[in-house]
Structure 1
């Protein structure tokens, strides 16, 4: 009987750890993709997490329906400077609203500050199966689709096409592997652009996963894939195309 109770308790603890979290998606009030540093994906914060933003700290809470602005990383009521109602524009021209992963999400990019991706990924990107467009320069547009095949994240890159049509190059990014974000999206130190390392929607490290990871600790939708020796060269090549 005691053993049964212990097993039930362990199972219950496991189920509790895997419960879905609430998320607050971040959108620009003017629908300007410049403020999305990756150029694709839906930016999402974990509800209740304290996030640094341009010298202050923001806490978006789906329970209270409020976004509070703080001057300390604790985001306690004693450090609160201002507040706005969710779904309204504010705090740098962004709209924050309670939401979840889009229905057509094919992958999740979990953002980490620690080099071994051991901290909690309060920032993530939900990537859908749509065609993502980007400019290499002012005149040359390319596009990309993201799929998951055999537990690998597949990037189909269409050079010279903004409609994901014609010939493409398919590249693999291993799932569930802690990687330096700069190895995938190098920063241009000569340009004060949206891909700078200090962008508020950037973190230093990333784990890519197939499917929508809706867990607060980033343990959901976990897949494994063998790490290829040419991973860094592969992701750098993708970045060069964009």
Structure 2
């Protein structure tokens, strides 16, 4: 399967442009905010826009839920198409979705700036920030049951295909989490989460440096640790990195891009 990824910050109009992009490249499948969409119909998954909180929405969009992930994987096997488009706010996000759905890697990356003008992006951001409106690239009949109470209206999109005018309907919703403002996680909270995990490992007897940098919605970690003498250090550190990555992503919804660990001392037990 050839995998396309449309990347751009939240609110820049990715879901609005996804249908045009899919039509241009003849892509029948779209993964957007936790949903698998096939030919304008929701086939599997659960929309992140149904979540009560921004944190819940992030986790849903990144396919942290194993039941949701399995459902989408099984649906993809049954549909058996050869092209799919993943929407995400960063390279790390679309790569994580690709990995969770076992799609085999992304073949082509497309930036929202390459298919939308700066004026169109600014307008989309204004609608998102001032009105809290989100687009789901499927007809209203597909989402009205799940979004009862905060479905706003539908939007018709027309484009040419085989010398015919094709109508595609999209749904406009205002998720509940839109009313809670933007999510912000302080550096101190991230450091405290790391320190908490370190304390759970008896083999780690001390640390001198815990540094976290957030760049383009991705985390870069630098740690200096003291560990017990006698450990098979490379194997142990790789295991710890994996657990640390899952710990932070599960608790924050932010992708951990890189973890660098320095062993500054070995603790010799008496």
The two structures have a TM-score, normalised by structure 2, of 0.25
Instruction: Identify, as 1 or 2, the structure richer in helix.
Output: 2
Structure number with bigger Rg? 2
| TM-score normalised over the length of structure 1 | 0.27
